[in-house]
Homo-oligomer: A and B are copies of this chain.
Amino acid sequence: MVTIGDVARVAGVSRSTASYALSGKRTISPAVVQRVLDAVDELGYTPNAGARALATSQTKVIGLLGRFLSDEFAPAMLQYILGVTNRAGELGYDTLLVSEEDGVNALKRLSTSRMVDGFVLLNVAEHDDRLGFLREALQPGATVGLPEQCDGIDVFDLDFVASGRIMVDAMADAGHRELILVSQPEHVVARGGAYVWRLADGAQARADERGIELHRYFGASSQPAIGEDLNRYLDTHPGATGLLLNNEAAAAALPSVLAARGLSSPADISVLGRYSDDFARTFSLPFSAVDSAADELGRRAVEQLVARIEGDPAGAAPHLVELIPPTIHDRGSIAPPPASRG
């Protein structure tokens, strides 16, 4: 393998001069720099990552810790992952992906062995056992998902409270007065998926303000249970004219449920979901939805992480808690309720 020593020899200079010529950290005469660059080209030199990491204590790798739960909509995770890896690549970092069950252990291993310069944690729960260690680690960390305690880390998440509000607003503005909100199953909440509450509470608060009747349910996370759930909700509340979905399985199941009931959207019922654009595209869901902005969240987390890695350790910037504002992707599934139409 070709080392910087080989480059130096071919260029006729010392190893240190070759190093400085490449890094530019000291002034080296243009002629020598050119000879070194030529030698690099000629030999096809690439620095050895391990040696550089050892010398500089910088690996140019970030650790990405997922939490892949079989009862969640796993494929959606890919969007977050790609957001992270793509942005990291643009910033000159590679990404080590860890899917290991025991996230705390993985975190410790990568941290103490100095394999990475920082961490991005995905799918962070309200009380996440990985955070305790992360705060004490030598490397900085950023999360996608809002934990209860945010000190010492940079936090990124969708603003779920605002999401709940604008979902109710969108329906109320169209004239709806009675809505059904289908959330994720209760065990997602129990596991720390606080976003379920955050969205529901935001929706409830806004519904109260505007005098809207809101029926809240936890739906199942898979077929056929969720299909039955949806039918039951619709049977129970015949006066409801709008359906809010914070549950991917419900969104996927709804087209056939509506078809079976002989309903169509938005003519008979207005629908507004909360899922990623990618999810909608793949399954051609015809419903407007608050975008989960997976890609953007992943990108923002990496950007902030890299800023902290490369930033002045002395004047450490205060930690962020960034809740990105929700946007509705309009697919035309909201219209005034049937009764109000001429």
Q: Which residues of A contact B (CB under 8 A)?
A: 1, 44, 46-54, 59, 61, 64, 68, 73-78, 81-82, 85-86, 89, 94-100, 109-110, 112-115, 138, 222-224, 227, 249, 252-253, 255-256, 259-260, 278, 281-284
Contacts and interface: CB of A to CB of B under 8 A. Distances in A.
Q: How many copies does the complex hold?
A: 2
B109 A98 contact: no
A85 B98 contact: yes
Contacts of A112: 44, 46
With most chain B CB atoms within 10 A of its CB, the pick from A59, A86, A99, A114 is A99
Nearest to A112: B46
A149 to B, nearest CB: 24
A43 to B, nearest CB: 11
Contacts of A86: 99-100
Contacts of A44: 112
A324 B16 CA distance: 53
Contacts of A54: 48, 50-51, 54
B99 A46 contact: no
8 contacts: A46-B109, A48-B54, A50-B51, A74-B75, A75-B282, A78-B81, A85-B100, A94-B96
A296 to B, nearest CB: 16
A57 B292 CA distance: 42
A283 B252 contact: yes
B74 A282 contact: yes
A85 B99 contact: yes
Given A1-B114, A50-B53, A75-B278, 16 more contacts: A48-B113, A50-B51, A51-B54, A61-B96, A74-B278, A75-B282, A85-B97, A85-B98, A85-B100, A86-B99, A95-B96, A95-B98, A223-B284, A255-B255, A255-B256, A259-B259
Contacts of A76: 75
B77 A284 contact: no
Nearest to A95: B97
